[in-house]
Amino acid sequence: MTHPTDRHTDDFDDLDTLLAQARQLTPADLSAADRFLTRRRAARSRSRAGWLTGALASAALVAGLTVLRPAAPLPGPLPSSAAYDAYQSAWGADW
Amino acid sequence: MTRSLTLLLLTLGTAHAGDLEDVQAALKQARTQVARGQAEVTVLFPPRATPTRAAAQLPALTVRPALLAKNFSVTRTGTEQVAGRDAARFTLTPKVGDAARWTLWVDLRWNVPLAFEERGADGTLARRAALTRVQSGTARVTRPAPPAAPAGLRAALTRALPGLRLPPGFTPVGVQPRGQGLEVALTDGLNGLTLVVAPQDVKAAPGVASRRVGKVFVWLVGNLPQPTLQAALAGVRSATPDPLGTFSASPDSNP
C-alpha cells in the first residue's frame, strides 16, 4: 500500500522535472527566440528607415520651397519727378 | 611774320582772359546788386507743369569762380539791347565734355546781368531768365557765395562708388541726406549735377540715368546727354556710402 505522503512526493518530483525542462532552453526554444529577434530587428529597421525617409522628404520639401519660392518683389521705380526734385532742390531753388 | 602771328595770338588770348574777368566781375557784383523790374523766367529742364513765370528780378546763379575759369571758355560776342539797355553779350562754352553752355547779357553801365540762358550741348534751351523792363537803378541784395567744397570729398566719393567716372569738369561740392540714402551735388562751376544713392530705382527720363549697384540704386540727374550720364555710372563696381557720411550736411544747406 502506498502512503498518501509518498504519492504527494512523487507529484512534486514530476513538477520539478517539468519546471527543470521549462527552465532549460531547447534548440527549438533557441530557434524560436532567434526567429523572434530577427523579426523584431527587421521591424525596427523598417520603422527607422521609414522615419528617416520621412525626415529626408520633409527636408527636401522645405529646401525646395525655399529655393523655388518667388523672390520678394522689389519696390517699383519711383517716378522721374523724384529725380527732378533732387536736382531742383540742389540747383534750381531760385528758379 | 612769326612775331606778328604770336602777337595776334597773345592779343586774342588776352582778350579771352579779359572777357572771363569781365564776367567774373559782373557775377560778383550780382551778389550785392541786382537790376529789378519785370522778368520772364523759363525752365524747360527739369520739366515742370508751368515752364514760364514772371518775376521781379533774375534768379541767383550758383557760380564757383575758380571752377568757372578752369572749365569754361568765355568770349564776348557783341553788344545787344536787353530791356531797353545796352548789354554786353558773353558766351560761356565748356572747354571739354558736353555740359550745357551759357549766354550772359551784362549791363554796360551797371555791370550786372540783365539776362542769361542755359542750353544743352545740342543747343536745346534748358533755362532762360531775362528782364523785360527795368527800374531806374539797381537794388542792394545779399547773396552769399556758395560754401567751399569740403577737403577730401572727391576721394571719399571715389571710395564710396569705385568705378564712377565723373563727366569732364565736374567735381563734388556737397553731400546731404536724402531719405534712406544721400545725394551728392556736383558742379563744373556753373552747371549742376545731382548724384543720388537710394534704396529704390527711379524711372528713366531725359536728364535722368539710374543703375542698380548691389542692393542700392545710383541715380545721376542733370542737363547732360543721356549717353554721358549713363557712361558716368556704367563702371560703378560697388556702392558703400559710408565714406560720404562724414561730409553729410543738413538738407537746407546750399551747395
Provide the ipTM.
0.88
Amino acid A71: pLDDT: 59
- pLDDT digit string (tens) for A35-69? 888 888 888 777 777 777 777 877 777 776 666 66
Is pLDDT of B121 > 90?
A: yes
How far is it, in rounded angstroms, from Cα B100 to Cα B224?
Answer: 7
Amino acid A68: pLDDT: 67
List CB contacts of B84: < 8 A, sequence separation 6 or more. B133, B134
- Chain A residues within an 8 Å CB radius of B251: 89
Torsion sign over Cα B80, B83, B86, B92: negative
Count of CB atoms situated within 10 Å of the CB of B246 = 11
Q: Which chain A residue has the Cα nearest residue B223?
A: A87
**What domains sit in chain B, N to C, each tagged with a CATH number?**
2-140 (2.50.20.10), 153-253 (3.30.200)
Is pLDDT of B122 > 90?
A: yes
| Nearest-neighbour CA in chain B from A62: distance (Å) | 26
Amino acid A95: pLDDT: 92
CA B255 to the chain's CA centroid: 11
Average pLDDT of the segment spanning B126-130: 98
Which cell is B53 given?
A: 513765370
Amino acid A11: pLDDT: 66
Amino acid B10: pLDDT: 47
Amino acid B27: pLDDT: 97
Look over chain A and give the mean of its residue pLDDT values, rounded to a whole number: 76
Is pLDDT of B9 > 70?
A: no
Model confidence, pTM: 0.74
Is pLDDT of B157 > 50?
A: yes
Q: What percent of chain B has pLDDT above 70?
A: 91
Is pLDDT of B116 > 90?
A: yes
Is pLDDT of B171 > 90?
A: yes
Interface of A with B (CB under 8 A): 74-80, 82-84, 86-95
Average pLDDT of the segment spanning B216-227: 97
Amino acid B12: pLDDT: 47
Cβ within 8 Å of A, B 52-71: 59-60, 62
CB contact under 8 A, B46 and A87: yes
Q: Which residue has the cell 548789354?
A: B87
Average pLDDT of the segment spanning B242-253: 73
List CB contacts of B179: < 8 A, sequence separation 6 or more. B198, B199
Look over chain B and give the mean of its residue pLDDT values, rounded to a whole number: 92
Question: In this structure, are residues B63 and B190 in contact, taking their beta carbons and an 8 Å threshold?
Answer: yes
